[in-house]
Homo-oligomer: A and B are copies of this chain.
Amino acid sequence: MGRRKSRFLRKPVEPFTVEAGLSADEVLNRMERTSFQGRSLGTARRIWEKMLGADVTIFLGTAGALSAGGMRMAIAHMIERRYIDCLVSTGANLYHDLHETRGRRHYIGSPSLDDAALAAERIDRVYDTLASEDDFCKNDEWIAAFALKLEKRPHTTREFLYKLGEYLWQETGNEGILTAAYKANVPIFCPAIADSSIGMGLSQARHRDVTAGAIDVIGDILESANIVIRKPATATIVLGGGTPKNFINQASVQAEFYDDRVGGHKFAIQIVTDVPHFGGASGSSLEEAQSWGKLSIESEKVTVHADVTLALPLLLTALETTGPEISRKRKKPEFDPSGRVLVMNGQPLGDNRFMTGSGS
């Protein structure tokens, strides 16, 4: 026709073609050239690869019933492979992980089961998944007993969860999120620990010994901001939103208050089902995060609007094709999360003062 195509019309959509025996990697490659959330998931893999190739500290946030829903070994895998450097989680995900690491199980149910019948048999339902209330009560007691063994002083959730992972590993030798993080020296923060069964276990320890169960969640804020100040190049991967999403962003905002080298995460992936238009933090857009400085204006970012149980298995399996090689070369931050004071790359990070201008 002689007429020049618009500058907007450069890269065509490639229809997905079905073939027997395709690997997850190849399926996701092909989805990357389609549209909507299929494309977004493909883009998430590319951004993750870039994160791994860059010199950044990668935060992972996990909310929703991921461990109960069969995602705990996938999260443990990210930790073990060091696809991420620091985990921020809801208490429930760590608690359900502990439940399985201790040899208990979650069970396949259905959303249409009779809840009165379940209650009568002391079975707790999470949508289509079930667990025994009695097993849960035993976990709570186990956590209480563990908490009673600790030094009678406040622990940040980071220190507490390290020691919990250590004890769990010693007791069970089983794989899971807490034990993987213990072995890989990946710090875990749980800012809303009081809103979880781990918190309930701690409260039961307190019930038995008034000097037990002291948790220093404000120390967590200082430590997490100091991780950012120590190395102001960061990235965030959010699964499900919730308190972890905001806590990771808050670390960046708080760090910037004390160190103006901090300029927001350089990369961001979020897999969420909430939407922006009701104003809640879980569904808030990554663009909105840029106004706050949580994300750098130049960041590479993608939102995948999907259930994590649907998106993560495909994403991680595809990443496993390229990720290990990229990850091998990366300069991972090295943590020692075993003591009262968190150590990063050989330097202690305060839990009682913000660092300033410490360089990377």
Interface residues of A, count at CB 8 A: 145
25 A–B contact pairs at CB < 8 A?
A8-B109, A8-B113, A8-B118, A9-B107, A13-B69, A13-B105, A13-B129, A17-B74, A18-B317, A23-B24, A24-B27, A35-B106, A36-B65, A36-B309, A39-B108, A41-B310, A64-B279, A92-B246, A119-B297, A127-B284, A133-B292, A137-B257, A214-B216, A215-B217, A306-B306
Cβ-based interface call for A47 (8 A): no
Q: Is the CB of B34 within 8 A of A69?
A: yes
A-to-B contact residues, CB < 8 Å? 5-6, 8-25, 27, 30-31, 33-39, 41, 63-65, 68-74, 77, 92, 100, 105-109, 111-113, 115-116, 118-119, 121-133, 137, 140, 154, 191-197, 199-200, 202-204, 206-207, 210, 213-222, 225, 240, 242-243, 246-247, 250, 253-254, 257, 273-282, 284, 287-288, 290-293, 297, 303-314, 316-317, 320-321, 324, 352-354
Q: Which residues of B contact A292 (CB under 8 A)?
A: 119, 124-125, 133
Given the interface pairs A194-B218, A273-B274, the reply to whether A309 lies near B72 with Cβ below 8 Å is no
Given the interface pairs A21-B321, A307-B37, A353-B206, the reply to whether A279 lies near B69 with Cβ below 8 Å is yes
Q: Which residues of B contact A207 (CB under 8 A)?
A: 222, 352-354
